[in-house]
Structure 1
Amino acid sequence: MSPEELWLRYNPKLKNYILKQVPDQYCAEDILQEIGLRIQRNADEIQEITNVDAWLYRITRNLIVDYYRCAKKYTLMEDIADVADLAEPDAAGLENYNKETVECLLKLVAYLPAIDQEAILECDYKGTKQNVLAEKWGISKSGSKSRIQRARKRLTAVMQGCCEVKKDHAGNIIEFNHKDHAGTKFSCLKC
């Protein structure tokens, strides 16, 4: 069976299966597209697969698990006060400055152009999905992703323009110093 025939035969079944597991239609379509890519990548080996059903559903289940695994990494916080638990010492007992960094970043957003401010605040602070923002801005989904990525890079540049940031292996901020006032434990004079 060719990859195209396999895709035409299983596409509707897999889409229904994914939609039962993943509530977001856009994420479900992304998973389905990834399955299509894997079919294409393994086109030479498809003839050797004895149970194509099992192979496709295993790929699908693994992608759904990956989707939920990634989704648990990020949680939306409604209020900056909810960030307090991030400033607790990490598992190794080291102090971190995640709370202070978040507060500083929210203030540094003011140094960005209005379009970047909206992108950061809507996506990263309020948790608005990128496809919703694409519709709001009247641009494509990829255009929305690009706008948000550019805004994040500009915010990083603003922060790195005044501060030195060091992270531990888990991504926690362990040092955050103003470049002109090195030696203080936490200092951000710009904000």
Structure 2
Amino acid sequence: MEIKQDKAIYLMGLNQGLNEQNVNELYVEYKRKVYTIALSYVKDYYLAEDLSHEILIKCYLTRDKFKGDCSFHSWMYRISVNHCIDFLRKSYRKRDLLYEDINIFNSEDAYNPESEVLNLCDQEELRDHLRQLPSKYQEVIIHFYFKDQSLRDIVNELNINLSTAKTRLFRAKKMLREFYYM
């Protein structure tokens, strides 16, 4: 383990820049460790992958702050844990704010006949725009938003790849946006 530690310190080049090959070596060496830490916090494979990339970039950008007082692995571990905790704090705040906003719209004070008519008109307009989408985009939108299914459920039900489902959802939302902003 000490050999890897020396290699990491050498590759970090405290007083010199990293070249692309050295960055790739560090990335390959530490990506699995960082991914495992992120996965232990967020419990979602895709999210953990995104977080691990963010963490590795953060470590690269702040590499000059590593002074060698601790092992390189400990330094990266602490950055990984702090990043994951910060992420979870931010996501919980966003959820709370969203929940509070929904409660405002569901309150009795917000209900009136005018708002109901406007809501029905908006729903009808949305249905019309959905009908104009190609069927492969319609089904992904309907499953995701109206049936409240996750991307994994959609992939299993429609028998398509995850990347295909993500692409179709992205394109469908883009088409709907274009309908509204024409």
TM-score when scaled to structure 1?
0.54
Q: 2:115 and 2:82 mapped to 1: Cα distance?
A: 37
- Counterpart in the other structure of 2:78: 57
**Mind listing any 5+ residue stretches in structure 1 that lack a counterpart?**
76-82, 162-191
The structure whose residues are more often strand, as a share, is 1
**Mind listing any 5+ residue stretches in structure 2 that lack a counterpart?**
1-7, 12-22, 97-101
Once the 2 structures are TM-superposed, how far is the Cα of residue 22 of structure 1 from its aligned partner? 0.9
Is the contact made by 1:87 and 1:96 (CA closer than 8 Å) also made in structure 2?
Answer: no
Once the 2 structures are TM-superposed, how far is the Cα of residue 70 of structure 1 from its aligned partner? 4.1
- Counterpart in the other structure of 2:119: 100
Relative distance call for 1:132 and 1:33 in structure 2 (3 A) is farther
Once the 2 structures are TM-superposed, how far is the Cα of residue 152 of structure 1 from its aligned partner? 0.9
What amino acid maps onto 1:125 in structure 2? F
Instruction: State how 1:16-31 maps to structure 2 within 5 Å.
Output: 16-31=36-51
Residue deviations 1:105-158 (CA, integer Å, cap 9, x gap): 6523233221121121122333433355456443352x4322212111222233
The structure whose residues are more often helix, as a share, is 2
- Counterpart in the other structure of 1:33: 53
* Structure ID, larger Rg: 2
Residue deviations 1:134-184 (CA, integer Å, cap 9, x gap): 56443352x4322212111222233445xxxxxxxxxxxxxxxxxxxxxxx
- Counterpart in the other structure of 2:146: 125
Q: 1:125 and 1:12 mapped to 2: Cα distance?
A: 37
How well do the aligned residues superpose, as a CA RMSD in angstroms?
Answer: 3.9
Aligned length: 145
TM-score when scaled to structure 2?
0.56
Is the contact made by 1:105 and 1:159 (CA closer than 8 Å) also made in structure 2?
Answer: no
Q: 2:105 and 2:85 mapped to 1: Cα distance?
A: 28
Q: 1:118 and 1:68 mapped to 2: Cα distance?
A: 34
Percent identity over the alignment? 19
- Counterpart in the other structure of 1:86: 105
